[in-house]
Amino acid sequence: MTAAVTGTGTLVLAGTPIGEIADAPPRLAAELAAADIVAAEDTRRLRRLTQALGVQPGGRVVSYFEGNEAARTPELVEALAGGARVLLVTDAGMPSVSDPGYRLVAAAVEQDIRVTAVPGPSAVLTALALSGLPVDRFCFEGFLPRKAGERMGKLREVAAERRTLVYFEAPHRLADTLAAMAEAFGAERRAAVCRELTKTYEEVRRGPLAELAAWAAEGVRGEITVVVAGAPEVTEEIGPEELVRQVRVREEAGERRKEAIAAVAVSAGVPKREVFDAVVAAKNAEKAEKPGKPKA
């Protein structure tokens, strides 16, 4: 472990409301008033928050967002090493969770600087609790790639994941994302779209992925968290003949063979290679059964 820095201060990660101001943790106002430096993802939003809480930051306010965190981190670590108390807040929820913060935390830990937190609201946990899906085991996947091919690749990586999946998504990409999930995970996989959590127009829409994709195609607004059920547990082994049959049914319905194999692998809970090998073996067997051309 790195030797402790003499006179080090403390980095405080503070959760902020994801909608309802009254959800602000009680310690937040005290930390805002006591911090030597408040690093905020958006200083304008911070100003609105402090006004709502009736508190005035006691120290210097600086911006800390995706565009400047690499350059500002050394400055904040230097201040921490000198004994400052630095409070990090993002626009909503906990810092570091799909928001700026990880880089600063890692740098502070490297210098053996104390890091603590003011626990607060979390869109991830709130959506999980409201989804109606299993919450005993889950994984957070953050935002998916914007490009369709990269997005599908990421979804197929977790198609057989048994844990409940949680994603953030922009409203204008929601319909495409849900349609891609329906293709990668299966149209009937259960999911919940949680919109504007804790706000005036809060809505939780639950149903199969294909149904949710059709709903979202009409247009959705607000901040979105998507919760998707994990892959179903396969209770009985499916033989190669049945795997081939399911692939053929999907091909006859218009799916390309590659996508059909991937979908069947997910539904059957087996590796894609096993389905691919079954399809190839069936094809070779059919060729062997066909009579050869008569020789001239």
Residues 6 or more apart in contact with residue 266 via CB below 8 angstroms: 159, 160, 184, 185, 186, 231
Is there a contact between 45 and 91 (Cβ–Cβ < 8 Å)? Answer: yes
Give bridge partners of residue 140 from the DSSP assignment: 166
Does 234 reside within a domain? no
Domain of 174: which CATH number?
3.30.950.10
Does 196 reside within a domain? yes
Q: What is the pLDDT of residue 70?
A: 93
199 and 257 fall within a common domain: no
Prediction pTM value: 0.77
Range of the domain at 253: 240-289
Q: What is the pLDDT of residue 103?
A: 95
Q: What are the φ/ψ torsions at residue 72 (nearest 5 degrees)?
A: -85, -25
Is there a contact between 190 and 206 (Cβ–Cβ < 8 Å)? Answer: yes
Query: What whole-number distance in Å separates Cα of residue 215 and Cα of residue 53?
Result: 37
204 and 172 fall within a common domain: yes
Q: What is the pLDDT of residue 260?
A: 86
34 and 49 fall within a common domain: yes
93 and 15 fall within a common domain: yes
Q: Of 228, 249, 268, which residue constitutes the final position of a domain?
A: 228
Domain of 34: which CATH number?
3.40.1010.10
DSSP string, the chain: -PPPPTT--EEEEE-B-SS-GGGS-THHHHHHHH-SEEEES-HHHHHHHHHHHT---SSEEEE--TTTHHHHHHHHHHHHHTT-EEEEE-SSB-TTSSSTTHHHHHHHHHTT-EEEEE----HHHHHHHHH-S--SSEEEEEEPPSSHHHHHHHHHHTTT--SEEEEEE-GGGHHHHHHHHHHHH-TT-EEEEEESTTSTT-EEEEEEHHHHHHHHTT---S-EEEEEPPPPPP-SPPPHHHHHHHHHHHHHTT--HHHHHHHHHHHHTS-HHHHHHHHHHHHHHHHHHSPPPPP-
Query: What whole-number distance in Å separates Cα of residue 33 and Cα of residue 56?
Result: 6
41 and 101 fall within a common domain: yes
Q: What is the pLDDT of residue 292?
A: 61
Per-residue pLDDT of the chain (296 residues; tens, 9 = 90+): 344 444 589 999 999 999 999 999 889 999 999 999 999 999 999 999 999 999 999 999 999 999 999 999 999 999 999 999 999 999 999 998 888 999 999 999 999 999 999 999 999 999 999 999 999 999 999 999 999 999 999 998 898 899 999 999 999 999 999 999 998 898 889 999 999 999 999 999 999 999 999 999 999 999 999 999 998 876 567 888 989 988 988 888 788 898 888 888 877 777 888 999 999 998 888 888 776 655 55
Report the side by side order of strands in the sheet with 85-89: 60-63, 37-40, 85-89, 10-14, 114-118
Q: How many domains does the chain have?
A: 3
Start-to-end Cα distance in the chain: 81
Does 1 reside within a domain? no
Is there a contact between 9 and 83 (Cβ–Cβ < 8 Å)? Answer: yes
